[in-house]
Structures are given as structure tokens and as C-alpha cells.
């Protein structure tokens, strides 16, 4: 693989492993920004550590994150966002988990908890994605909590990470929350035109009208890719958004969206960053079949824009499957064929369902142009 000098990859194997060979990296760093794969409470043999103990597993993963960041080539690394996927055992345990993370990483960092139905290894209860950067990029952390909408923004100049949590407040509140999000972003000089990437998680009963309101404002790339999942009481919608600022010296903005048959694909370029997401909506296809077709489409879309999987820093996959390692491994085997070691940082998570019930998997990639 031909890597530019500015890209650094920390390969798997030195800390923990999975029970399948794969080409991914523990961490990928590009020009002062870094992304990890989902950090799991696994040991060097792929066995679950502290089985069924959320608190002990959280401490285990925190130590892994500390070690990984210490091995990165970042000058004074600062965590901007933690996406915390977990299996809920009790509300008290979840609060303890979040308190541990805040104590370890500070109040500036976005901590975005997302409940999942299960993990693919029995006894595993947590997996954490880390988004970090060199401290010199950090400008500010802003929290806005108003009338049922909480927005947390960490601004790292070129990239801005945004957490959105919206509560159901009764008839007519949906549009108000969407307007409040737009206003919160304007306060930090952002708008939908700077949106690079988005993941949405929707309560199966409370969330649909609220989600539609955010979509109407342009904050949702693909309605069918949103995950239907378990959210805390009264929480209707959770959004994980990434924005990219563009200076005059950077490349122009590019937006490409298409739907052909059962294929939905979007590609965005904002400055030197790009993001592409793909989904297949076809209930006649199995999970590996949908994954294979999605990867072919994604590869072709990147090539059309003079990109390749070598440019990818972070891959996120949400899929619908059984709670067995086989579903994860079958899915990964298809995706793995498109990468060479050391590949991108990758996270693959089961969800209850996707908004488009005919879709079993949604895959997106984020990266930066090699210089």
C-alpha cells in the first residue's frame, strides 16, 4: 500500500485481537486528526475480558484508548468525541460507565452513548470509537441545552463534531427542535452546507416525526440508513454529525447523491475531507449479498472521484443480524477483501433494524485526500 507521509496507521496485534483475520488498524492518523477502530474489551487471544461486567470492561477499554493514543504520532492528543456502543443492563451501570469516561477524558469531550441489542461475542458489553486530534486544532467546546434539545459541539477548526439529543415534547415540537439545531450551528459559523457525515439513531415509537423534521432541514443524508434502536426514556432521536470547514485554499465542495434501483449512495467532499455512504434496500438478498453489492458500488464511486480505499481513515458499518460471531465474520469477510494491511480504522455494529426495513447493512467511509 502506498501511504503518504502524513498518514500513520497503528496495526492490530500489539494489544488485542479478534477471532478473524482482518486488514484494519487500531488507529489511523491523518494530518493531526485520528480515528480508532471500535475499542473492545478483548485480550490478545480474542477472548472477552471481564465478561458481563460493564464497569470493568469500561476501565479495560479506557486503558486501551490511553495506550493507543500514546502510540499515535499526535502532538498532545486531545479526544474530541467518544461514540460508546453498549448493551444496557441497568440505568445505574450506564451512568457509572459515562461517569468513568467523563472523569478520564474531561467535560469538553463529546460522549455519545448508543445502546445496541447485543455484541457478537458473548459477555461483551461495550465498544468505543475514538475521534481525536492534536490539541493545537482545538478551538472550543459548546453545550446548548434548551427545551428538550441538547447539542454538544467540539470545534477542532477543520473538523467539528456535533452530538444531538432530542426529546419528544408533544405535538408540534419537532420543527422547533430542528430550528434550534440550525440556530446552534449558526452560533459556531456552521450550516448544513458544511455537513460532511451523519449517523442517526431513532426511537421506534417516539422518534419518527422528530427525525423527519431534522431531515427536512437537511441534516439527514439518507433517511433509510438511520438505525432504529433503544434510546433512554423520552429520547426520540440521537444524531452523530461531523462538519468540515472550508478555507479558500482548500478544494471546492462536492455533493453527489443517487438512487438506482435498490442502491442508495451519497458522496460528499468538504475541503480536503470526503465521506461516502451506501445502502442496499432489497429484502430478497442476504446480509453478505447486500454487503458485497454495497462495497462494489462504494469502490466505483470512490474511483469516479479519483479516490480509493487507500484514502479511507474510518469505516462505520451498521448491520442487522443474529447475535453470533458468524454474522459479524461473514459480513467482515466481504468488506475485508477491499482493503490491504494496514487498512482503515473500522467499526461494525449490530442494530435492531434500519429505517428502510429492506436494508440489512449500511456502510460509510470517511477520509482525507493524500497529499
Domain 139-245 is of which CATH architecture? 2-Layer Sandwich (3.30)
For residue 90, the Cα-to-chain-centroid distance in whole angstroms is 24
- Inter-CA distances, 224 with 98, 133, 228, 359, Å: 29, 31, 10, 8
Q: Please state the CATH superfamily assignment of the domain spanning residues 7-138 in this structure.
A: RutC-like (3.30.1330.40)
pLDDT in tens, the chain (371 residues): 344 446 899 988 767 777 667 788 999 999 899 999 999 999 888 899 999 999 999 999 999 999 999 998 898 999 999 999 999 888 899 999 999 999 999 999 999 999 999 988 889 999 999 999 999 999 999 999 988 899 999 999 999 999 999 988 766 566 678 888 999 999 888 999 999 999 999 998 888 888 999 999 999 999 999 999 888 878 999 999 999 986 544 556 788 888 999 999 999 998 889 999 999 999 999 998 999 999 999 999 999 989 999 999 999 999 997 766 666 677 778 888 888 888 999 998 889 999 999 999 999 999 987 65
The string of DSSP codes covering 47-104 is PBSSTT-HHHHHHHHHHHHHHHHHHS--SSEEEEEEEEEE--S-HHHHHHHHHHHHHH
pLDDT for position 150: 94
Q: Which CATH class is domain 251-370?
A: alpha beta
> Which three three-digit cell numbers place residue 245?
470547514
Comma-separated ranges of CATH 3.30.1330.40 domains in the chain: 7-138, 139-245, 251-370
96 Cβ neighbours under 8 A, 6+ residues apart = 54, 55, 58
pLDDT for position 32: 92
pLDDT for position 2: 40
Evaluated on CA atoms 328, 329, 331, 336, the torsion sign reads positive
pLDDT for position 14: 67
Amino acid at each position: 500500500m502506498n501511504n503518504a507521509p502524513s498518514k500513520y496507521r497503528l496495526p492490530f496485534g500489539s494489544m488485542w485481537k479478534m477471532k478473524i483475520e482482518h486488514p484494519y488498524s487500531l488507529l489511523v492518523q491523518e494530518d493531526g486528526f485520528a480515528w480508532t477502530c471500535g475499542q473492545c474489551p478483548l485480550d490478545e487471544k480474542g477472548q472477552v475480558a471481564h465478561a458481563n461486567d460493564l464497569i470493568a470492561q469500561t476501565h479495560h477499554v479506557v486503558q486501551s484508548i490511553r495506550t493507543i493514543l500514546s502510540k499515535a504520532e499526535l502532538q498532545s492528543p486531545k479526544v474530541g468525541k467518544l461514540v460508546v456502543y453498549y448493551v444496557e443492563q441497568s440505568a445505574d451501570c450506564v451512568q457509572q460507565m459515562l461517569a468513568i469516561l467523563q472523569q478520564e477524558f474531561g467535560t469538553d469531550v463529546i460522549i455519545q452513548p448508543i445502546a445496541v441489542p447485543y455484541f457478537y461475542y458473548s459477555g461483551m458489553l461495550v465498544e468505543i470509537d475514538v475521534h481525536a486530534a492534536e490539541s493545537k486544532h482545538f478551538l472550543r467546546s459548546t453545550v446548548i441545552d434548551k427545551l428538550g434539545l441538547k447539542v454538544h459541539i467540539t470545534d477542532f477548526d477543520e473538523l467539528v463534531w456535533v452530538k444531538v439529543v432530542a426529546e419528544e415534547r408533544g405535538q408540534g415540537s419537532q420543527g422547533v427542535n430542528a430550528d434550534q439545531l440550525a440556530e446552534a450551528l449558526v452560533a459556531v459559523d456552521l450550516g448544513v452546507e458544511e455537513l460532511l457525515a451523519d449517523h442517526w439513531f431513532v426511537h421506534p415509537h417516539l422518534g419518527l416525526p422528530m427525525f423527519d423534521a431534522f431531515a427536512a432541514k437537511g441534516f439527514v443524508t439518507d433517511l433509510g440508513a438511520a438505525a432504529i434502536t433503544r434510546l433512554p426514556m423520552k429520547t426520540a432521536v440521537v444524531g452523530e454529525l461531523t462538519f468540515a470547514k472550508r478555507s479558500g485554499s482548500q478544494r471546492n465542495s462536492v455533493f453527489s447523491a443517487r438512487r438506482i434501483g435498490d442502491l442508495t449512495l451519497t458522496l460528499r467532499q468538504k475541503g480536503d475531507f470526503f465521506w461516502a455512504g451506501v445502502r442496499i434496500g432489497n429484502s430478497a438478498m442476504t446480509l453478505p449479498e447486500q454487503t458485497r453489492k454495497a462495497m462494489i458500488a462504494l469502490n466505483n464511486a470512490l474511483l469516479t472521484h479519483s479516490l480509493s480505499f487507500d484514502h479511507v481513515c474510518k469505516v462505520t458499518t451498521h448491520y442487522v443480524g443474529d447475535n453470533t460471531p458468524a454474522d459479524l465474520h461473514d459480513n467482515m469477510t466481504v468488506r475485508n477483501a477491499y482493503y490491504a494491511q494496514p487498512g482503515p480504522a473500522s467499526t461494525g455494529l449490530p442494530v435492531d433494524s434500519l429505517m428502510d426495513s429492506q436494508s440489512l447493512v449500511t456502510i460509510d467511509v470517511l477520509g482525507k485526500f493524500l497529499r
